[in-house]
Structure 1
Amino acid sequence: MPLILVVDDQPSNIHALYQLLVDDCEVSMATSGAEALAFCAQQLPDLILLDLLMPEMSGYEVCDRLKADPRTRAIPVIFVTVQGGAADEAEGFAHGAVDYISKPFVDVVVKARVHTQLALKLASESFARSQIELFQRDKLASVGRTIADIAQELSSPLGNALISACTLQDDLAQLRSSSVGGVMKRADLDKHLRVSEESVCLVLSNLQRTLSIVDSFLQSTADNFGDQRCSFSLTELVHEVVTSLTDVLEAHQVRCELAAGDDVHLLSFRGALAKVLTTLVQNAVKHAYREAGGEVHIRVRPLGADQLTITVQDHGVGMPPATLGRVFDPFFSTRFGPNRREPGLYIVRNLVTFALGGQIQVESTPGVGTTVRLTLPMISPEARRAS
C-alpha cells in the first residue's frame, strides 16, 4: 500500500484525513514541519498532504526544504489550506507543490486528487524503471557484441600462431630424432631450418597482429594517452595533426583545408583529440577517394558560449545507408585487405564520448561525400571510462 504523510498542526484535520484515506493507503501523521522533516529523514512517503499555515515552520518552508534535499525532492506534495485563492495556488506551485486542496475539504475531491497523484507517481517510477532496464539491456548487448567482435578478431591470429608453433614443435622433434640416429643429411637440415624460420616468422607476425588489436582497444580512453586535461590552442593542434599526415596526404594527392576562424582554447584531453582528428583525416584520405586526388575540409565553429563543432568533410564516394549504420562497429571497414581490421571509428566514438565528453555524428551520401561532425564542450569533464 502507498504511504501518505499527513502534516497539520490541528489534530482534528489529521484525524479526518486519516479516516478518509486509511482504507486505501498507509497513513502516517506529523503535527509540525520539524516532525515531518524528521519522518522523511527516516522513511520516504509516496505523497505528503501538507498544511500551509503552521506555527514555527510554514508549509512553504517545509516544502522548500524537501525540494532542496535530493532524497526527498521527488516526493509529491499537496498543500491543504484555507488559503485557496488563485495567487495562493500559484505561490504553492512555485514552491514545488503538485496540487492544492482547499479547506474545508470535500471528501470526494481529496480522494480523487490523492489517487491521481499516486497514480502519476507510480507511472513515473514504472517508466523510469523501464528506461533503466532498457538502457542496461542495450548496454549489456553492446558489451556482448564488442566482446564477440574482439574474440573473433583475436581468434584468427592466435589460431595461426598456435598452428605455426605446433608445426615448429613437430619439426624440432623430427630434427632431434634424426640427429640421435645419426642419419641426417644436409638437405634434411636445410629443410628443417627452412620450416623453423617460416614457423617462427608466422608466430611473430600473428602475435604482433594480436598485440596491435589489443593496443587499438586500449587507445579508446584518454588514460592510455598519458593524457591530463590541459589548456591548448585548437588551431595549433589541428595544424600539428595535418602536418603529421603530410606524407599520407601527398601520397594520395589529397589537400587538407582548415577553416577555423578565431582561435579557441580548450581545457580538454589534447592527445585524445589529436587521435580523433588524425583518424578522421586518415579515413577520409584512404576510403573517400578510390583514386588519387581530392580534398578534406576541417571546419571549426563556436556553438554558444561553452561548446563548439568540428567537422571533417570529404567529397568522395560516400556510403549507402546500410554501410553508414555500421561505421561505429568494431573492425568494420568498407575495404578489404590487411588494414580492414583497424577499429577506426569505434575508437573515435569512445574517445569523443568518454574522454572528451562530446558527441559524434556521421552523414554520408553515395557519390557526394561524408561529413563527420564532433560537438565538444570547451571544458571537458574528467575522463569517463568506457564500459
Structure 2
Amino acid sequence: MASFRTESSSVTPIHPRDQAGASIDLLGLLEKGRLLCVSGQFDEIPQHLDYIKTFELEPICAVMLETLQLYPNANNGHLQDSQRLQRLSDLLELAKVLDSKLAQAWAWELMQLLQNNLLLHHAALHSNAMAVELFEQCDRKREAFTTKVSRCLIMVPCEMYREVIEMGEQLLREREHLDPVALCNILRSSASANYFLGIETDGDQHQQFLQTALSLHEECLRIAKGYQIHKFELISHTNIAIINAYLGRREPTTYHLLKIEGMQVNANKVNPSWGYWLRFCEALLLCESPEFERGWEALIALDLELRKLDLSTAAVHDSVLRKIISYGRRWHYLEIALDASLALAELNSKRRRLLSQTLSATVEDIMSLPRLVQKNQELSQQGHQLEASLARQNAELNNTLEQLRAEANIRKKAEYALHQAHAKLEQQIQARTQELEAAMDVVMRQEKQLALGRLVVGIAHEMNTPLGNALMAASTMDDYCQQLSADLSGTSLKRSQLQISLHALHEGNRLLRRALDVASNLVQRFRALAIEQHTETIQNFDLQGLCAGVVADWQKRFQERQAELSMYSDTAVRIRSYPNALTQVLEQILENCLFHGLTSGELARVELHLYQHGQEIELQVSDNGNGIAQDHLGRLFEPFFSRQLGQGGMGLGLSIAHSLITDLMRGHITIANRPEGGTCVTIRIPTDSETSFKL
C-alpha cells in the first residue's frame, strides 16, 4: 500500500506499538479502509475496521473510523440510509469542532453517496463540491480529482446532460490522473448523457448522439476488459446492446446479448432493471424483423409490467414508451401511441415531482444551519464534560479488573474440567483409530483383489492374440497335412499340388513361430513386473556418462521426428546402482516422450537434467508436448494402463520403470504436468542403492 501524507494542521499521526513492538501507522490504516469503502470492496472492510478498533484512538481518528463504519455494507446492515445520514451530520459537526479538514472531507464524501442513494441529487452535488474543496485544502489532489469524477454520476439523474458531456471532456483531457475505475465512470456518464439526448431528439442529431454514446461505451468496455473490472464489463455490454437495438443493428445487438448471458450471476447486483433492458433489446430486434408483431406485443407487455413498478425503472420505462409511440405512429396503432404519450407525460411528471421534493429537502438542510451552529456550541461544552467522564470511567475500569480476576479463577476451574473431558476424548479417539485401522485392512485386501483382477484381465487380453494366431496356424497346418496324406494315398500326386501343400505348411510354420515369439516376449515382459526376476549385479558407474550415452543413442530417432533432445549436467556423478536397469528406465521415458507426448512441429523438444543433492541424485526429463489428462495421472504406473492398448501398446513400460526405481533402486519416480505445457518426469535415487536397501 502506498504511503499517505498526513494533514499537519488537523491530524496528528499516531504510532502505537503492536505485540512485537513495531510502530503502527493508524492514519495509514484508516486511509486503506477509506479506499476499500470507496472502491466497493465490502468483503474486506469489516475485518479491516475491526483490526483498527483494537488500538487506542485519539478523537480525530475515532471520528474518521466511525465515518467509515457508516458506509453501506460495512457491517452495519441494520441502519437505514436516512439514519446513517443523520449520524453522519453529527460526525461532521464533531470534525469541525476538532478542526480536522480531512475528517470533514471524508464525511462530505460519504454524505454525497448517501444523498444520491436517497435521490437527493441536488444536495449530493453540494456535498460533492464541499468534499472537493476540503480535499484540495488538505493538498490531496488525487482524492479531489476522483471526487470530481463522481459528480458526473450525480448530474446524470439530474438531467444535466450537456453539463455532464462538457465536464467529461475536461476530465478526460487529464486522464493521466485517473485510475481505471474513475476513467470507466467518466466514460459511462458521458455515454449516458449522449444516449438520453439522443432519444429526446430526432434527425441527424439523434444518430450523432447515439453514435457518440456507442463509441464511449465501447471504450469503457475495452478498459474494463483490460483491467478485469467485471462490473463495468456487464454494464458496457448491456448499454452497447441497447444502443445497437435502437439503431436497428441486429448482429452487434445479438453479439453483446450473448456476452451478457455468461455474466447473469452478478447482473441484478449491478442494476436491478438489467433484466428489463434485455427484454427491451429483444423486443426491438423483433420489431425490426419479419416477426415485428411479436416484438410489438412484447413492448406492450413490458410497458404494462413497468407501470406497476416504482421510479427505480424509470429509465427503461421511458425508452419503452418512446418506442411504442414511434412504432405506433409508423404502424397506425394511434390509440396505443396516444396512451403511451400520456403515460410518458405522467412518468416525466412523477420524476419532476421527485426532483422538487429533493430540492425542498436541500432547502431544509440549508435552513437548518443555524441549529447546527448552536449544536457546535453545545459540543464544546460536552468536551469539558467528556474529560470529567473519563475520570469516572477509570474508576469503573478498576472495578472491572477486580471482576476479571474473579472470572480468572472461574476459568481455571473450567480448564480443569476441560482437561478431564480432553482425556476422555483421547480414549474415544484411540478406540475409533483401532476401528479405522481394521476398516483400512479390509479396504487394502479389496484393493489387492481388484489389482489382481486387472492384472489377470490384462494378461489374458495380451496373450489372447498370439495364442489365437498360433492355434489358427496349427489348425491350418493340420488340415494341409490331412489333405497331403489323402493325396499320397491316391492314384496320382501332381508336383504342383505337393508344392502348394509344402508352401502352405511352411507359411503356417512361420506364422506359428511368430505367434510363439510374441507370446514368449510377452512372458518376458510379464516376468519383468516382478522385481526379484532382475538378476543384474550392483555396480559403480558414471551416471553422467550413462545418461550421455542414452541421449546419443536416441538423437537420430528424435531428429527423424523433427524433435530436439538435449542434456544438461553441471558435474560428473558416480553412483553405486544398477546401470542396465536405469538405462531401461530412461529409454522407456524417452520412448513415451517421443511417441506419445510430443506434438508435431519445429519447436518440439525434450530436456534431460541431472542434479546431485547430497546423497541423492535427481533426474528430470521434461517435454513441451501435449501433457497428460488429469484423470490419467494417477493411473500411469498401473500394469496394462495405456491409451493404445491393443494398438501396439501394452501399458507395461511405466509399470516396469516404477518397479525398477522404487523396489530395486530404492528411489522415487513421479510424473506431473508442467504449468507452461508438457510433462516432467522426476526420478530420485540414492547414490548407493545397496546401502539404502540395508537401511
Q: Same fold (TM over 0.5)?
A: yes
Distance 2:527 2:472 in 1: 27
1:295 aligns with 2:605: yes
1:142 to 448, 451, 461: 451
Alignment of 1:103-122 (within 5 A): 119-122=428-431
Distance 1:118 1:366 in 2: 46
Equivalent residue, structure 1, for 2:570: 261
TM-score scaled by structure 1?
0.62
1:344 to 645, 653, 656: 653
Distance 2:563 2:532 in 1: 32
1:130 aligns with 2:130: no
Equivalent residue, structure 1, for 2:669: 360
Equivalent residue, structure 2, for 1:58: none
Check conservation: 2:636, 2:654, Cα contact below 8 A: yes
Shift of 1:144: 2.2
Relative to its length, the structure with more helix (as a share) is 2
Equivalent residue, structure 1, for 2:472: 163
Equivalent residue, structure 2, for 1:226: 535
1:191 aligns with 2:483: no
Deviation string, structure 1 residues 202-238 (Cα, Å, up to 9, x no partner): 1111111111111122234555443222332221221
Question: Which has the larger displacement, 117-126 or 345-354?
Answer: 117-126
Change in CA separation of 1:342 and 1:145 when aligned onto 2, cut-off 3 Å:
closer
Instruction: Give secondary structure in 2 for the equivalent of 1:245.
Output: helix
Check conservation: 2:462, 2:646, Cα contact below 8 A: no
Check conservation: 2:477, 2:505, Cα contact below 8 A: yes
Greater length-normalized contact order (CA 8 Å, ≥ 6 residues apart) = 1
Change in CA separation of 1:220 and 1:231 when aligned onto 2, cut-off 3 Å:
farther
Shift of 1:150: 1.0
Alignment of 1:211-222 (within 5 A): 211-220=520-529
Equivalent residue, structure 1, for 2:519: 210
Distance 1:215 1:117 in 2: 53
Check conservation: 1:222, 1:383, Cα contact below 8 A: no
Alignment of 1:226-245 (within 5 A): 226-245=535-554
Shift of 1:268: 2.2
Residue identity opposite 2:658 in structure 1: R
Instruction: Give secondary structure in 2 for the equivalent of 1:313.
Output: strand
Check conservation: 2:619, 2:683, Cα contact below 8 A: yes
Check conservation: 1:287, 1:334, Cα contact below 8 A: no
Distance 2:524 2:691 in 1: 22
Check conservation: 1:216, 1:342, Cα contact below 8 A: no
Instruction: Give secondary structure in 1 for the equivalent of 2:681.
Output: strand
Alignment of 1:246-285 (within 5 A): 246-285=555-594
Residue identity opposite 1:359 in structure 2: H
Change in CA separation of 1:342 and 1:243 when aligned onto 2, cut-off 3 Å:
farther
Distance 2:514 2:647 in 1: 12
Equivalent residue, structure 1, for 2:683: 374
Change in CA separation of 1:327 and 1:120 when aligned onto 2, cut-off 3 Å:
closer
**Of the two, which has the highest radius of gyration?**
2
Check conservation: 1:354, 1:383, Cα contact below 8 A: no
Q: Give unmatched runs, 5+ long, in structure 2.
A: 1-416
Residue identity opposite 2:483 in structure 1: Q
Instruction: Give secondary structure in 2 for the equivalent of 1:263.
Output: coil
Residue identity opposite 1:299 in structure 2: H
Shift of 1:357: 1.8
Residue identity opposite 2:480 in structure 1: D
Shift of 1:335: 4.5
Deviation string, structure 1 residues 249-294 (Cα, Å, up to 9, x no partner): 3433433211222333333222211111111112212223354753
Change in CA separation of 1:383 and 1:151 when aligned onto 2, cut-off 3 Å:
farther
Change in CA separation of 1:292 and 1:219 when aligned onto 2, cut-off 3 Å:
farther
Deviation string, structure 1 residues 101-126 (Cα, Å, up to 9, x no partner): xxxxxxx99x9899766544433332
Distance 1:383 1:209 in 2: 37
Distance 1:145 1:383 in 2: 32
Instruction: Give secondary structure in 1 for the equivalent of 2:489.
Output: helix
Instruction: Give secondary structure in 1 for the equivalent of 2:572.
Output: coil
Equivalent residue, structure 1, for 2:637: 328
Shift of 1:359: 2.3
Change in CA separation of 1:314 and 1:377 when aligned onto 2, cut-off 3 Å:
same
Residue identity opposite 2:607 in structure 1: H
Shift of 1:362: 1.6
Change in CA separation of 1:116 and 1:338 when aligned onto 2, cut-off 3 Å:
closer
Shift of 1:165: 0.4
Residue identity opposite 2:524 in structure 1: D
Change in CA separation of 1:258 and 1:129 when aligned onto 2, cut-off 3 Å:
same
Deviation string, structure 1 residues 114-140 (Cα, Å, up to 9, x no partner): 976654443333233333332232223
Distance 2:567 2:684 in 1: 17
1:308 aligns with 2:617: yes
Check conservation: 1:266, 1:378, Cα contact below 8 A: yes
Instruction: Give secondary structure in 1 for the equivalent of 2:689.
Output: coil
Deviation string, structure 1 residues 173-221 (Cα, Å, up to 9, x no partner): 1111111123322332232123212211211111111111111222345
